[in-house]
Structure 1
Amino acid sequence: MKTALAASALLSALTLTACTTVQMDRGTYIADTSHRAKNADSRIRFLVMHYTEIDEAGSLEVLTGDQVSVHYVVPDAPRIERGEPVVYQLVPEDKRAWHAGLSSWQGATELNASSIGIENVNLGPIDGNIGESGHTRWQPYPPAQVDALIKLSRDIVTRYKIPPTRVVGHSDIAPQRKIDPGPVFPWHALYDAGVGAWPDDATVAAHLAGRDPKAPSDVRALQEKLKRYGYDVATDGVFDDKTRRVFSAFQMHFRPSDYAGNADAQSDAIAQALLDKYFAN
């Protein structure tokens, strides 16, 4: 019995030592990792959504080429293996992919270095008919694709603790040059599944306060709200083409029924409802 107890104690001591003192031989030096800093966080702070504009085969060819890359590709018709949808991972999560380009969100730039990118196989606008709200026909995102996207996104935001307001579209972080993932992207379905942000209807109605949703609103006030939420936008009250593109990007995300880019009462109410919900403090 004494021998067994002694052996058990020795094993426990060895286990404790192994847990508290880890040395890694890296060839030309040894790294001792027994001291761990508390003040550290993940490189990954944002999740960025895209569409590919081409089919699955073309998407994989381009995204494994020399110009651009992305962490994940979600097919429009994912195959099922062992009862689960299959998505493509092209870049390890701890590596930087070339998907965001010149971009900005909540004051952060160079988002390639701090984000995971997801490309969804989708053609985007499928005709050239541009009306009041831009392209009038967009490629839908099929239910099977949305299901796979939800499962992938929920896993990512959970593991990296990505806040709802940092789940964004390419058009959100680069509104002057990008319109993906477009106005039919399933933002609300993602929100219902615990991914990303969405305003509360009752709060929007309260801020609208009976106004006509299309009634003009103060440009500077809307600029300031969107700047606070995360958009890279001037706050000078000038309604120029750059500001219109930012307003349109915001509307494609949160009011896709009309993304003409006008400063209107409903957009102002949605922006304030988002600030109330996610930036109250």
Structure 2
Amino acid sequence: MKFLAIIVSLVLLAGCATGPRYDISHPSANHDSRVQFVVVHYTSASMERSLQLLTHGEVSSHYLIGDDKNATIFKLVDENLRAWHAGESEWQGRTWLNSSSIGIEIVNPGFKDTPTGRLWYPYSEAQVQSLIVLLKDINKRYAINPNNIIGHSDIAPLRKLDPGPLFPWKRLAAEGIGIWPNEQVVARQQAQFETQLPSISWYQAQLAHLGYATPQTGELDVATRHVIAAFQMHFRPSHFDGTPDAQTAALLQVLNQTK
């Protein structure tokens, strides 16, 4: 009898150890993916140093694209987990995007300042091809809004410049990844804005509508210039000085009309 009591106790304990029982016969349709954004970065470091920082440092990303011949794609953090790549950030009113994004780092030195100006380093063709494959795979699983495939500089324009003006946003858009304005429509709009520029309040409102965290002061303050420069670097990488000119206005209007 004593032996039987021990067996019964063990069975009861085993039942308790399994945890609560759940009724899963009423699944809710009211949900979406944790992943709403993809944020692209450059590492400003060599591949060896990048791997070290992203695996044993204070930052991380879900993926790293190397600068080796094949542009190896390293998976560093499971997509269901939060990687530490965005920091203080905002896009379309969502803040601290680590919790809602996939981060992709690309091995690239970024830039160096020279006596004749700032020199930006290009991405290799292999890196671009690997990035396209990776982004298409991510998009297949999460159906990311094209407007939400963005750079670090888009979500943190006051403190970040990556992925820089040589990042191939236009080419990605041609592959069905991200957005790019119709250049002929932009040219027509630009001609209209050449006669009279919109107010600073208009630029600030348009930038905020597109997704940028922008002051709504009506003044061309330092923060607004940074946001305009980040927008220009993404959509007009040949010239990104933060000046609210006619072409910038045309780009904003066309992008927001087709958003």
TM-score, normalised to structure 1, is 0.82
Selected match of 2:132 from 138, 150, 156? 150
Q: Which amino acid aligns with 1:250?
A: F
Greater share of helix: 2
C-alpha distance in structure 1 between counterparts of 2:206 and 2:74, whole Å:
37
**Retained in 2: the 8 A contact 1:170–1:178?**
yes
Q: Does 2:234 match 1:234?
A: no
Show CA shifts across 1:205-230 (max 9, x none): 221126559x8653221111001100
Once the two structures are TM-superposed, the CA of residue 201 in structure 1 deviates from its matched residue by: 1.1
Once the two structures are TM-superposed, the CA of residue 31 in structure 1 deviates from its matched residue by: 2.9
1:155–1:168 distance in 2 versus 1, CA, 3 Å: same
C-alpha distance in structure 1 between counterparts of 2:198 and 2:158, whole Å:
22
Q: Which residue of 2 aligns with 1:96?
A: 82
C-alpha distance in structure 2 between counterparts of 1:170 and 1:153, whole Å:
16
Selected match of 1:37 from 16, 28, 33? 28
The SS at the match of 2:56 is: coil
Show CA shifts across 1:132-163 (max 9, x none): xxx3x101001010000001011112210111
**Retained in 1: the 8 A contact 2:165–2:237?**
yes
C-alpha distance in structure 2 between counterparts of 1:211 and 1:96, whole Å:
43
C-alpha distance in structure 1 between counterparts of 2:228 and 2:114, whole Å:
21
Q: Does 2:104 match 1:113?
A: no
C-alpha distance in structure 1 between counterparts of 2:92 and 2:21, whole Å:
39
List runs of 5+ in structure 1 lacking aligned partners: 1-24, 80-84
The SS at the match of 2:22 is: strand
Q: Does 2:205 match 1:224?
A: yes
Once the two structures are TM-superposed, the CA of residue 77 in structure 1 deviates from its matched residue by: 2.7
**Retained in 2: the 8 A contact 1:251–1:267?**
yes
Show CA shifts across 1:231-266 (max 9, x none): 001122211111111000000100000001101000
Q: Does 2:40 match 1:49?
A: yes
C-alpha distance in structure 1 between counterparts of 2:52 and 2:111, whole Å:
21
The SS at the match of 2:253 is: helix
Q: Does 2:110 match 1:124?
A: yes
**Retained in 2: the 8 A contact 1:105–1:232?**
yes
Q: Does 2:173 match 1:205?
A: no
**Retained in 2: the 8 A contact 1:78–1:87?**
no
Matched-pair identity in %:
46
List runs of 5+ in structure 2 lacking aligned partners: 1-15
Q: Which residue of 2 aligns with 1:71?
A: 62
**Retained in 2: the 8 A contact 1:51–1:180?**
yes
